[in-house]
Amino acid sequence: MTSVLAQNELVEPQMFSRSQMGSGGFFVDSSTLVSRLITPAFELVKKVLRSYEVLMPTMTLHLQGAEMSIASKNVFYIEHEKGLFCFAILPLDNLSILEHIN
């Protein structure tokens, strides 16, 4: 992945690069139930979310040669009957994983 854009806040591409030692990076895992972002990227996205009161922000993944817009149903767990929603991405120390998206 080359970057993440959450509204107008850009998560720097180097946060998703693999190191020469093989740590870090960004993976797509079809068996992962909750996406995870490397902690600095998670904190930036969380800051953007906290600036919103009602409208769900958009999130776009910038891949090499493509862009992927992520629907709010894949970024939030929404409990319509109770009027609740929860950010459904967790922080991770050394890499990022994109969950299986239907």
Q: For position 2, what pLDDT does the model report? A: 60
Q: What is the CATH number of the domain that holds 64?
A: 2.40.70.10
Return the pLDDT at 3. 62
Residue bearing tokens 């992962």:
32
Collect all residues with Cβ–Cβ distance below 8 Å to 64 and sequence separation of at least 6.
2
- Averaged pLDDT, groups of 10, the chain, 102 residues long: 64 77 79 80 79 68 83 77 77 80 64
What is d(CA 46, CA 50) in angstroms, rounded to the nearest whole number?
A: 6
Kindly state whether residue 20 falls inside one of the protein's structural domains.
no
Which pLDDT score, from 0 to 100, does residue 102 have?
A: 60
- Whether residue 82 is contained in a domain is answered as yes
**Overall number of domains in the chain:** 1
Q: What is the pLDDT of residue 45?
A: 79
Residue 6, pLDDT score: 65
91 in any annotated domain = yes
Please report the pLDDT score of residue 53 as a whole number. Answer: 62
Residue range(s) defining the domain that contains residue 65: 3-13+25-98
pLDDT for position 89: 81
Quickly count: other Cβ atoms within 10 Å of residue 27's Cβ.
Answer: 13
**18 within domain boundaries:** no
